[in-house]
Amino acid sequence: MDNLQPILLIEDDLVDVMTVKRGFKELGVLNKLVATENGEEALNYLSNPEDGLPCVILLDINMPKMNGHEFLGILNKHSVFKQIPVIMLTSSKEQQDVDTCFDQGISGYILKPVDYKQFLASIQVLSPFWALKG
């Protein structure tokens, strides 16, 4: 399974990172999850991906140092990186954020629900992006 592309999670909230990890484990996701705390860390990872380029990026909007919109603006300037599907995984319900993200070429927008079962159902629809057990 070492040849599977990793999944890149860009999220500054440790509880949300743990929720994603738990959800992936429960769903049987085989891909390695690489977590970074902000857009700057994610760009550093993408510039030197020791595990290969990610099959998908899960991106929060509101983060310190470099937010999701700024990250997408930079990502889209690189021909290799802009081919990676980006799914917003955020608590922002602001229509302006949704519109801006889709204008920047994201593949999907998932609101982070408070309820774990809702979250699990939300990320389960993304299963074509990664490998699952069985």
Q: What global pTM score does this model have?
A: 0.89
Q: List the structure tokens of 90.
A: 């955020």
Query: Encoding tokens for residue 34?
Result: 């690489």
19-75 per-position pLDDT tens digit: 899 989 988 999 999 999 999 999 999 998 777 899 999 999 988 888 899 999 999
Please give the domain boundaries of the chain with CATH numbers for all domains.
Answer: 7-122 (3.40.50.2300)
Distance CA 49, CA 86 (A): 17
C-alpha to C-alpha distance for 16 and 72, rounded to whole angstroms: 20
Give the three-state DSSP class for 114: coil
- Each residue of 82-129: pLDDT tens digit? 889 999 988 888 889 889 888 988 988 888 766 778 777 777 777 777
